[in-house]
Amino acid sequence: MSNETTREKPWTGRFTEPTDAFVEAFTASVQFDQRMYRQDIAGSIAHARMLAHVGVLTEQERDAIIGGLEEIRTEIERGEFPWSIALEDLHMNIEARLTERIGVTGKKLHTGRSRNDQVATDIRLYLRDEVDAICTELRRLQQGLLEVAEREAETIMPGFTHLQTAQPVTFGHHMMAWFEMLQRDDQRLRDCRKRVNIMPLGAAALAGTSYPIDREFTARELGFDGIAENSLDAVSDRDFAIEFSAAAALLMTHLSRWSEELVLWSSSQFDFIDLGDSFCTGSSIMPQKKNPDVPELVRGKTGRVNGHLIALLTLMKAQPLAYNKDNQEDKEPLFDTIDTLKGCLKVYADMIPNMRVNRDAMYEAARRGFSTATDLADYLVCKGLPFRDAHEVVGKAVRAGVESSRDLSEMGLDELQQFSNVITEDVFDVLTLEGSVSARNHTGGTAPEQVRAAVARARERLI
Ligand code: ARG
């Protein structure tokens, strides 16, 4: 990137001294806002079309501007564009280049517009495209989850509360819990997109413009759902970016919780899953290690996304109306949030369907932790005991099991009958893990039949 000042800044008219070299770099944003070049050019083309439509530009002027902008886009894509720090930002770089290429007509593009409404429009267009890309990747991950859930509909694992074995659940059911979280994340993003896709253009610097502009025309050209109602608000608020960051932080929080489980489950202490060699890394000193770096990094990256949300909220909190240069600071947190989220979703969407599930280890863990104790209590209630008494009876049976290192299902009928004489042979139907999960056979329950039904419904919801 060059610092040459031969290419004039468009605002030097009222200045008598050149900008301090450090200040020039300090106030510039072109280093990071150039990634919005496609949106900036699309916005300028739509603006030029609108200006010609209302008679502010001639058709020849419009066509010269559009042709020039399209050439500039190609130039940028080829990596041949002469980006200049002296020209401060993406917008002034492109405008200066347009004039270099097509002459004085280039100087007419900015009629009835300001960088204030231009940048707000660019960010919204950029974010709209990225929300769509994120939702696509999210959907791919959800589809992978459904595959795993269906395949593992009958796989039994311990369900936890307080990370202590609680009741048996099916692994498919556990995966569907993750699906539901992601489904809400998807809805949040789609809802946020409605407020992102509103056009600020026409607000100009802050007060609107005296040219006879047709904002509806420009909005249609750019695929906006509507136009911002108030010019002061249009150029100044970044609540749509904050809202997106909040949705992103929640999504990352979900991925982080999931990561925590994957890290635990892939340890040799749990041994529930194997993430596959291509998603793990080794240790440079301990030859036996296969580390779950991917979920660990996703868990770690949640911190920076949460941080960006706070950065944007803080950026906004003390700004008077309307535009302030503070808002230039919205881009790096927003862009990093987008990049981080997309990367995390991609790696998860690739990794999850490849994960190997150790069904035996899960089953064994569920068998060990007295996970059917509640089923025994429910059984006693069915036989007429009040629930509190049943709870007490089972507590005693569990204590006996702990003392003799046996699960309830490993005790004989005689032994169980010592705790309550209502117990008969059919108790073993509920003490098995299969009996326990199959009994929870209602919408939202863990029974294999319900998992399959939930997967089928989920597929419908994804369409
Ligand atoms: N680079 C600026 C930004 O990102 C563009 C708008 C600048 N407007 C101004 N009046 N200085 O916000």
If you measure from the C-alpha of residue 119 to the centroid of ligand 1, how many angstroms do you get, rounded to a whole number?
Answer: 7
CA of 76 to the centre of ligand 1 (A): 21
Q: Determine the residue of 325, 330, 334 to mutate for testing ligand 1's pocket, defined as the one with the most ligand atoms within 8 A of the Cβ atom.
A: 325
Q: 152 phi and psi, to 5 degrees?
A: -105, 30
What would you report as the CA-atom Rg of the chain, rounded to the nearest whole angstrom? Answer: 31
User: Between the CA of residue 1 and those of 72, 93, 175, 335, what are the distances in Å?
Assistant: 16, 11, 48, 20
List pocket residues of ligand 1, CB cut-off 6 Å.
29, 33, 89, 115-116, 119, 325, 327-328
Longest distance between any two alpha carbons in the chain, whole Å: 101
d(CA 432, CA 45): 69
Catalytic residue, candidates 2, 267, 283, 404: 283
CA distances from 462 to 180, 320, 348, 390 (A): 11, 42, 18, 43
455, pLDDT greater than 80: yes
- CA dihedral sign of residues 82, 86, 90, 92: negative
Residue 242 · residue 310 · CB < 8 Å: no
What average pLDDT does this structure show over 444-456? 98
Catalytic residue among 162, 284, 405, 442: 162
Domains of the chain: 17-111 (1.10.275.10), 116-152+170-200+229-358 (1.20.200.10), 364-462 (1.10.40.30)
Once rounded to an integer, what is the mean pLDDT over residues 249-263? Answer: 98
What pairs with residue 84 in β-bridges? 2
| d(CA 27, ligand 1 centre) in Å | 9
Q: What local confidence, expressed as pLDDT, does residue 301 receive?
A: 98
Measured from the CA of 331, which atom of ligand 1 is nearest? 4
Q: What pLDDT, in 10s, does the model give residues 329-375?
A: 999 999 999 999 999 999 999 999 999 999 999 999 998 889 999 99
Q: pLDDT tens across 86-111, in order? A: 999 999 999 999 999 999 999 999 99
For residue 64, whether the previous peptide bond is cis, meaning omega lies within 30 degrees of 0, is no
pTM: 0.94
pLDDT at 290 over 90: no
What distance in angstroms lies between residue 324's CA and the mean position of ligand 1's atoms? 8
Neighbours of 147 (CB within 10 A): 13
